Amino acid sequence: MQYMKIGHSDLNASVITLGSWAIGGGASWRNSIDDESVAAVHTALDNGINIVDTAPIYGLGHSEEMVGKAISTIKRSDILISTKATFSWDEPNDGIYCYDMYGHHIYKNMSYDAIKRDCEESLKRLGTDYIDLYYIHNPAPDPEKMPAAETARALMDLKKEGKIRAIGLSNVQPHHIEEYIGLGCEVDIIQRKYSMLERSVEAEILPLCKKYGLSLHAYSPLERGLLAGKVKKDYVVPAGDAREGQPWWKPEKMPHAIDFVASLEDICKKNNCSFVDLAVAFLRGQGDFVNVICGGHKPEQAITDAKAGNVTLPQEDLTEIRKRIEALEAQY
């Protein structure tokens, strides 16, 4: 496993993060089993992954609880915990209503008090007295009602209090990054979706990360499993599944994505790696500031995730993969 520094912080993280959205269970992840989830975290640690990404909204607190259960039996300094603020459920607490999920009303609040309250609740669910990496989960839906200055102040106060060690921004746009940095918020990392089939971050987000010395936390590197090389063309996404509605999972585009993955077999053979390894290594090849979140709620998935952290592609293969991606995008 390779390791990297997160932004300007003192966090030394494995280049692969175990993503725990599925650990939260719920309607989107019906096959998640708690004991397996805890075992997945332990297996990840045993195989060199030392950072787990979670959030209160994942299973409405259940993901954090399971991560907390998993880390309760290990030395706290052996693992880095990444979680997020701003979403809550059932209790408005002056937040803005967003949507319903699993029969609960979901609200968003980025006020000073809400950020502090969210942090305390996450600490309780995780069973720890500090969080290594703390994100705001998506930008404010109403910047006037929830000014970034107030959110930034809460994050900085939490850091001064020792409740969090590093600050991140999730699913933000370039102007949000500039705004928070301009407010004096010590941002270390940006979390955005990034895969071979979703490269919008390359236009402005990656350059901003390089400009300010930030890390990128890339999620959905396998495009929710599509780039793993196991999906058949006749597969139908179940209603309510987490992949439903995703662009490349739509019936008219999925077969072409599957053909694209198959076309990468020669590069996999050349590098003695799997399709999963290749998808992750492509992202890592865009810069040593890229950390890849690989989801897993089973021990065998954690092992697969960890193996991907050992693969480095030569520049000629990175260039060839990009040519094939661009050819696919030009057609579809």
User: 142-165, pLDDT tens digit by residue?
Assistant: 777 788 999 999 999 999 999 999
Residue 162 has a pLDDT of 97
Mean pLDDT across 76-89: 94
What tens digit of pLDDT does each residue of 51-81 get?
999 999 998 999 999 999 999 999 999 999 9
Q: What angle do CA 255, 258, 261 make, to 5 degrees?
A: 155
H helix and E strand count, the chain = 11, 13
pLDDT surpasses 80 at 107: yes
pLDDT surpasses 70 at 26: no
3-class DSSP state of 103: coil
Number of structural domains (the chain) is 1
Q: Which of 3, 58, 107, 235 is catalytic?
A: 58
Cα atoms in the Cβ-side hemisphere of radius 13 Å centred on 217: 31
**Helical residues (DSSP H) of 202-253, grouped into ranges:** 205-212
Mean pLDDT across 265-291: 96
Does any domain span residue 105?
A: no
User: How far is the C-alpha of 50 from the C-alpha of 45, rounded, in Å?
Assistant: 6
pLDDT surpasses 60 at 28: no
DSSP bridge pairs for 55: none
Among 15-29, 193-207, 217-231, which stretch is predicted with the lowest mean pLDDT? 15-29
In percent, the amount of the chain with pLDDT more than 90 equals 74
Does any domain span residue 194?
A: yes
Residue 161 has a pLDDT of 97
**Residue 311's domain spans which residues?**
3-86+115-331
Does any domain span residue 192?
A: yes
- Looking up tokens 């706290």 gives 76
Does any domain span residue 241?
A: yes
Tokens of 204: 């402005």
User: How far is the C-alpha of 90 from the C-alpha of 266, rounded, in Å?
Assistant: 51
Q: What is the CATH number of the domain that holds 68?
A: 3.20.20.100
Based on the residue annotation, tell me whether 102 is a catalytic residue of this protein: no
Residues in Cβ contact with 41 at an 8 Å cutoff, skipping those fewer than 6 apart: 18, 20, 23, 52, 66, 67, 70, 71, 302
